[in-house]
A = this chain, B = another copy of it.
């Protein structure tokens, strides 16, 4: 997986999950420092319809295996407390 590629592919995720992986919306999860395997499984669950969410389902639907690996690697690589360490 390519973290730098993941950073670019995650440009669309930043609006909700934050550039530092700390979600800007209380109902959405922080992704910073999350388990990379779990992130892959969660994205695939939205892509494959196992999980359904108005925003995440369409977001995930177009992603390739490589995209998912890169995006998951990017967020997993971020410091868990994020930049602003805002909860």
Binding site for B on A (CB under 8 A): 23, 26-30, 32-38, 41-42, 50-52, 76, 79-82, 85, 87
A29 touches B34 (CB 8 A): yes
Q: Given A80-B81, A81-B80, A81-B81, is A38 in contact with B32 using a C-beta cutoff of 8 Å?
A: no
- From known contacts A35-B87, A79-B81, A80-B80, infer whether A27 and B41 are also in contact, taking CB-CB under 8 Å: yes
| Interface class of chain A by DSSP | loop
Q: Is the CB of A23 within 8 A of B38?
A: yes
What B residues does A50 contact at CB under 8 A? Answer: 52
Taking CB atoms, residues of chain B closer than 8 Å to A34 are: 29-30
Q: Choose among B26, B29, B35 the residue that contacts A27 (Cβ–Cβ < 8 A).
A: B35
Q: Of B29, B30, B51, B81, which one neighbours A51 at CB under 8 angstroms?
A: B51
